Amino acid sequence: MSDSSQTHSIHLDTPVQYLKGIGPKRAEALEKAGIRSAEDLLTHFPRRYLDRRTVTRIRDVRVNTSVTVVGQILAVDVIRGRRQRLVVLTGDGSGMMECVWFQGIAYVSKNFHTGETVAFSGKVTVFHGPQLVHPEYDKLSDADETNPMHTGGIIPLYPSTDALTRQGFDSRGFRRVLRPLVDGLARIPETLPDSVLGRQILMGRREAVENIHFPGRWKDLESARLRFKFEELFYLQLFLMLQREARHAGEKGIGFIRVGDQVRGLIERLPFELTGAQKRVLREIREDMRRPTAMNRLVQGDVGAGKTVVALLAMLIAVENGYQACLMAPTEILAEQHFLNIRRMLEEMDVPTALLRGGQKSRERQAILSGLADGSIPLVVGTHALVQEGVAFRNLGFVVIDEQHRFGVMQRATLLQKGVTPDVLIMTATPIPRTLALTVYGDLDVSVLDELPPGRQPVRTVWRKENVRDKVYDFIRDEIRSGRQAYIVYPLVEESEKLDLKAATEGFETLSRTVFPDVSVALLHGRMKSDEKEVIMRRFKSGEIRILVSTTVIEVGVDVPNATVMLVEHAERFGLPQLHQLRGRVGRGEAKSTCILLSSYAVSEDARRRLETMEATTDGFRIAEADLEIRGPGELFGTRQHGMLNMKIASLVTDGPVLEKARGEAVSIVESDPKLEDEGHSLLRENLKRQYRENFGLIRVG
């Protein structure tokens, strides 16, 4: 308990350097970790808890029961062999037992030294005696053994870093600072309206702070966690709803009234009938376009669901109403693919279409720029070259952004500014779980293309190790003899681009000279000139090239129906969305297709889960859910640029029901008070401003 002078002086905005037990060096370490104030400390939530209300003597532990034991470290040893493991031997005077780790060995082993007193919690198994596998643990000093803050209750374990630990901020150190802080705060203001607390049956904030850090019962802890999860998701959804409302109310858009002969003619000329999903999404887009407010709609569709046709029909509506339309793609290959597909579909129609990209000849580029400026080119496809200075439109009214998470926020904003509140259609072939879509794209209207065109073949996916490489090559050889074609893809990441490019180039040399000397093999990578890439892709599409060795530049947009094999080299280095996109390059014709994921023999636990997921399903949404579980939301789909998804306590994997309730409350509040102007909403307004002040400029275009 803190002294009385502290009781009257601590407030939520008190800087950490003025809190009891925190000197300048400790304050500096906290600030580097983003903990600058008393409130930041209070919302540095425990990651897990140990139930130390009942400590079991080692001699009394029973197999298949969950226990907490407190003992002294007797030995720390890394056992090498077929499966490396870390073994920590602990004893409490009544007996000894092993604590074992198979992952994170290098990190965990640094945390234990002989002679230390440590509490271990986990489920008892047996292997030459009782043991705990990957137990939770918490170090104790001799003085801690009788201190109820560290023993004899439900004990919080806090996330930390090496820098924080060096300053004494392990779990024990955080508890020592937080106990007097929780006791000494003059007041902890409520951040949720009473009406919301009542409807959702949520714990008050003061009580929740006490119970999340120092719970007396599991029931109280769960109530506290639920309250903070709801609060975090509620303010995020409230922010997104306000942004959406401001967009609908504050911006005059274009009402695209007319649907003419060109749109109807294109639908009649298509060599296939639109799927039910395509027709439904087109109706949703059409309704948006009719309204005189700016459309902001996301179209999600798995690989091959027919997003481009939907986008083209929407762009034609804009063109028939006297406006220009553009499509921006993240790579030159994808932009070229879109352009060629669109030009083919518009072959018999009088709709001048251009491709704008980097590295074009001056005369060609100038002719396109002039056509855009005077309106004689109504439809253009391009890369980020569309946002460069000097690109001006006569009357840009419709913007399509493909795989938008690959563009920077400012690039998207610059493109939108080239029109006068144009309608925006965002396309993504990266399936997004509903919980993530409600946050990343919470201020957009979402359409889903959940139906594949008839004739698309399911792709068989197999994971193979390096030791069967020759059999994999034999399989590819058989497919080539049957008249088919194949992709062989190498990883390419920014951090090791030179080494990766060298590996791909050397792989191509070996494949073309040694493995497939009698087959036409070509190499494609991002550093090639545009015309070189175009020639190679044209030759591959025509069947002249039978095997295309490539880096991930062919991840999206490439459509060669005769290609039936996708071999992914070093597949353990690819993320799930990339693997799913690469697999989508095959299975586009009538023949059966196979995706082969080739990896080294030893792969990490996360890589194993990714590769097994790919074998188990071709459902993009299930793959997205798995990726969300493995990596967390912050790294997915470029969402880290939002600065919003690094949540402290809520999980987009497991807290979908809480998110839905939080969203419902946010929608209700914004519908009744679109600008939070009512006096009763001043609390919400202030909290929202404090939490999201850095993000207001980004969400409108993000």
607 & 487 share domain: yes
Contact 40, 209 (CB under 8 A): no
Q: Which residues have CB under 8 Å from 131's CB, separation 6+?
A: 97, 98, 99, 100, 124, 125
Q: What domain range includes position 613?
A: 459-617
What is the four-CA torsion angle of 497, 498, 501, 506, rounded to 10 degrees?
Answer: -150
pLDDT attached to residue 636: 47
3-state secondary structure of 545: coil
528 & 394 share domain: no
Instruction: For residue 307, give both structure tokens.
Output: 């997003």
Q: Which residues have CB under 8 Å from 658's CB, separation 6+?
A: 226, 229, 230, 233, 650
Give dist(CA 315, CA 49) in Å, integer.
55
Q: In 188-306, where does DSSP find H-type helix?
A: 194-200, 205-213, 218-250, 261-269, 276-290
330 & 473 share domain: no
pLDDT attached to residue 683: 85
Does 337 fall in a domain?
A: yes
Give dist(CA 117, CA 648) in Å, integer.
30
| 318 closest CA partner among 350, 286, 346, 344 | 286
CATH of the domain at 601: 3.40.50.300
Strands (E), 384-516: 396-402, 423-428, 445-449, 459-465, 485-489
Dihedrals φ, ψ of 464, to 5°? -125, 150
Q: Are strands 593-599 and 521-524 parallel, antiparallel or unpaired?
A: unpaired
Domain boundary among 157, 192, 209: 157
410 & 316 share domain: yes
Q: For 229-283, how does the pLDDT look when each residue is reduced to its tens digit (9 = 90+)?
A: 999 999 988 888 887 777 666 567 889 998 888 888 898 888 788 999 999 999 9
Q: For 671-687, how does the pLDDT look when each residue is reduced to its tens digit (9 = 90+)?
A: 898 888 888 888 888 88
Domain boundary among 586, 601, 617: 617
* DSSP secondary structure letters along 303-328: TTS-HHHHHHHHHHHHHHTT-EEEEE
Supply the angle between the helices 307-320 and 261-269 in degrees, to the nearest 10. Answer: 150
Give dist(CA 29, CA 25) in Å, integer.
6
Beta bridge partners of 566: 487, 595
Contact 583, 303 (CB under 8 A): yes
- For the question of whether the overall pTM of this predicted structure is more than 0.95, the answer is no
Does 14 fall in a domain?
A: no
469 & 419 share domain: no
Q: For 443-498, how does the pLDDT look when each residue is reduced to its tens digit (9 = 90+)?
A: 677 888 888 777 677 899 999 998 899 999 999 999 999 999 999 999 875 556 67
What stretches in the chain show pLDDT beneath 70?
1-9, 141-152, 247-251, 404-416, 431, 433-435, 438-443, 455, 493-497, 553-558, 631-646, 692-702
Contact 83, 194 (CB under 8 A): no
603 & 470 share domain: yes
Does 67 fall in a domain?
A: yes
Contact 407, 401 (CB under 8 A): yes
Q: In 543-631, where does DSSP find H-type helix?
A: 576-583, 605-616, 620-631
Contact 490, 570 (CB under 8 A): yes
Q: Which helix (H) or strand (E) holds 50?
A: strand 48-51
Does 21 fall in a domain?
A: no
Give dist(CA 500, CA 570) in Å, integer.
11
Would residue 390 be called left, alpha or beta, if left means φ above 0 and alpha means ψ between -120 and 50 degrees?
left
CATH of the domain at 85: 2.40.50.140
pLDDT attached to residue 435: 67
Only one residue has tokens 């560290």, namely 150
548 & 420 share domain: no
pLDDT attached to residue 381: 95
Give dist(CA 307, CA 291) in Å, integer.
22
Q: For 338-382, how does the pLDDT look when each residue is reduced to its tens digit (9 = 90+)?
A: 898 898 889 888 899 999 987 788 899 999 999 999 999 999 999
The upper half-sphere exposure of residue 513, i.e. CA atoms within 13 Å in the direction of its Cβ, equals: 6
Contact 310, 281 (CB under 8 A): yes
486 & 594 share domain: yes
Beta bridge partners of 77: 87
3-state secondary structure of 562: coil
601 & 497 share domain: yes
Instruction: For residue 529, give both structure tokens.
Output: 């000139």
Q: Which helix (H) or strand (E) holds 549?
A: strand 547-550
Q: Which residues have CB under 8 Å from 602's CB, separation 6+?
A: none
415 & 559 share domain: no
Contact 334, 556 (CB under 8 A): yes
Does 564 fall in a domain?
A: yes
Give dist(CA 436, CA 625) in Å, integer.
9
Does 447 fall in a domain?
A: no
Does 218 fall in a domain?
A: no
pLDDT attached to residue 368: 94
Give dist(CA 248, CA 520) in Å, integer.
55
- CB-based burial label for 83 (10 Å; 0-12, 13-18, 19+): exposed
338 & 415 share domain: yes
Q: Which helix (H) or strand (E) holds 568?
A: strand 563-568
Domain boundary among 617, 652, 679: 617
Contact 316, 322 (CB under 8 A): no
Question: Mean pLDDT in the chain?
Answer: 84
479 & 592 share domain: yes
What is the distance, to the nearest Å, from the Cα of residue 393 to the centroid of all Cα atoms in its chain?
A: 34
Please give the tally of structural domains in the chain. Answer: 3
pLDDT attached to residue 614: 95
Contact 228, 166 (CB under 8 A): no
Give dist(CA 367, CA 364) in Å, integer.
5
Does 210 fall in a domain?
A: no
What is the four-CA torsion angle of 677, 682, 688, 690, rounded to 10 degrees?
Answer: 130
Instruction: For Cα atoms 14, 18, 22, give the angle at the middle one, nearest 5 degrees.
Output: 125
Instruction: For residue 227, give both structure tokens.
Output: 């309250």
pLDDT attached to residue 404: 59
